[in-house]
Amino acid sequence: MSNTGSTNSNPKYAWSDLVHRGLPKRSGQERVSDSLEIYGLYDDETAREQASRCIQCPNPSCVSGCPMCNPIPQWMQLTAEGRFLEAAAVLGSVSCMADICARVCPQERLCEENCILNGTSEPVAIASIERFLAEYGAAHGHLDTSTPPPNGLKVAVVGSGPGGLACAEELAKTGYAVTIFDASLVPGGLLVNGTPTFKLEKSIIERRVQILQKRGVQFRLGVTLGEDLMLGELRAQFSAVFLGLDSRSARPLKVPGAEARGVMQALPFILQKNTPVPLELPPMDLSGKRVVVVGGGDTAIDCARTALRCGAREVLCSYRRDQDAMPCTPHEFQNALEEGAKFLFQTEPVEVLSTPDGQLSALRLLRTTPGSKGADGRTFFAPQPGTEFNLETDWVILALGFDHVACPHSGSAGELGTNDWGGLVVDGQQMTSIPGVFAGGDVVRGPSLVLHTVRDGRNAARGIHAYLSAPQPARS
């Protein structure tokens, strides 16, 4: 509970009298003992107070800073007035996955970074209010699952990640019979397989899946495109197809000894600790062990925090640049510090040391120093010869980022037009070179933000509707 009183008579300057308040957060010591979300929600009064810090800019830069062009000032005003269900309705009209996006979106680099108050004061707590509204709407029956009468047309969605879920929901709301196909046995894509539960509880994704099922969406899981399922079959059975495949490959550690047992990629590690489905992966017992995570992005932070929850004795993150250059979201870095993670900045792996039987024993690191800046503004790093040192460790987890992976091109999928790295080329409505086949997300743009993928899915749904609503000759 907080004091909503303001000494300034002009509401435009309420922000100057109101302190920015983040969401309530459990202590680091408490939260490493479980895998539950670490944040709570605002109470009604605090939500109104924080929303009233928005000054209702005539040209809101927060909107242009959001990939979804979310009408943030509109639902901020409604929230400040206590009209929460109306605010949730406006939010939901633009983002059908606000409950998920508010949790995984790097708002500090998007809407909140572009808030006009940023720099003068703390920005408006956009993501925190978005989460409050999404959960308020769910708790008060705002999640309408009604659907219009079926229009007789069927659409196949390949991939149950955020793009596929967003596309399916928009189509189902328009009367289409939608079937989602996915190679995994659990729907959700990287929301399930690559996002720790303490950032996004699986009940949130399950709720989204249940909403789709109530709208009539069918799920066919454990089915892989190009193996169990061919694009030609889908085109014959469905009026249109949306391809929302995950398309990324983890970058390897290119140093001697990197194949040692005890060196593991980030996503298989997170997946093993995050899913109830049995996996064909070597078991990882981190209890009482020292773990070194290599990388400085959000995935590296996710791995460090997951390792702590698995009982690791010590978790260190090795990053080749300094703290200011870390690409991770600042509040995630702070959360990792609070939970006990340690960081070795300006260190680069040069060798993995192992025992005669191939078991990891230590990571050999080289110290670096900042170099010149590149065209993108990022600072290069320069190795410092003669500064090598060995760091004994039981496990090394690699979080070095991801590379593009070409879309599977078997059968009729070989007709799909691609760019220089094998990604699918689409038009302004997300349609590929094959009429009636649409695509979005990683398979088009490479590894990207959840918001970009959701936007692609929604755009594709509109494109599919326009395509199927056109006169038949236009689709031949």
- SS3 of 176-197: the string is CEEEEEECCCCCCCHHHHCCCC
State whether 35 and 123 are in the same domain. yes
> 46-83 burial, b for 16+ CB within 10 Å, e for fewer?
bbbbbbbbbbeeeebebbebbbbebbbbbbbbbbbeee
Chain centroid, CA 218 distance in Å: 24
Tokens of 406: 């070409």
State whether 80 and 169 are in the same domain. no
pLDDT attached to residue 381:
87
In a domain, 5, yes or no: no
3-state SS class at 392: strand
User: Would you say the pTM of this structure is higher than 0.85?
Assistant: yes
What's the CATH code of the domain at 42?
1.10.1060.10
- Amino acid identity of 130? E
| 88 vs 12: which has the higher pLDDT | 88
Type and span of the H or E element at 171: helix 162-172
State whether 240 and 329 are in the same domain. no
**Domain of 271, in residue numbers:** 252-400
In a domain, 332, yes or no: yes
Neighbours of 95 (CB within 10 A): 22
In a domain, 148, yes or no: no
pLDDT attached to residue 93:
87
- Beta strands at 360-373 and 437-439: parallel, antiparallel or unpaired: unpaired
State whether 385 and 286 are in the same domain. yes
Kindly tell me if the per-residue pLDDT of 305 is higher than 90: yes
State whether 53 and 118 are in the same domain. yes
State whether 44 and 164 are in the same domain. no
> How many distinct structural domains can be found in the chain?
3
What's the CATH code of the domain at 443?
3.50.50.60
Please tell me which of 134-138, 225-229, 413-417 the model is most confident about, judged by mean pLDDT. Answer: 134-138
Tokens of 348: 């680069």
Kindly tell me if the per-residue pLDDT of 134 is higher than 90: yes
State whether 387 and 369 are in the same domain. yes
In a domain, 147, yes or no: no
Judge whether 20 and 125 are in contact, CB under 8 Å.
yes
Q: Token match 């079959």: residue?
A: 233
CA distance linking residue 150 with residue 175, whole number of Å: 5
Neighbours of 29 (CB within 10 A): 10
State whether 266 and 237 are in the same domain. no
Strand partners, 359: 261
Percentage with pLDDT > 90 across the chain? 74
| 364 vs 476: which has the higher pLDDT | 364
State whether 31 and 125 are in the same domain. yes
Kindly tell me if the per-residue pLDDT of 281 is higher than 90: no
**Binning pLDDT at 50, 70 and 90, where does residue 6 land?**
very low
pLDDT digits (tens, 9 = 90+) for 243-257: 998 878 899 999 999
Which of 338, 373, 400 lies at the terminal end of a domain, its last residue? 400
Percentage with pLDDT > 70 across the chain? 92
In a domain, 4, yes or no: no
State whether 361 and 261 are in the same domain. yes
**Binning pLDDT at 50, 70 and 90, where does residue 476 land?**
very low
Kindly tell me if the per-residue pLDDT of 442 is higher than 50: yes
State whether 265 and 276 are in the same domain. yes
pLDDT attached to residue 246:
82
Kindly tell me if the per-residue pLDDT of 8 is higher than 60: no
pLDDT digits (tens, 9 = 90+) for 118-127: 888 899 999 9
Which of 400, 422, 437 lies at the terminal end of a domain, its last residue? 400
pLDDT digits (tens, 9 = 90+) for 144-172: 777 889 999 999 999 999 999 999 999 99
State whether 263 and 396 are in the same domain. yes
pLDDT attached to residue 248:
81
Kindly tell me if the per-residue pLDDT of 7 is higher than 50: no
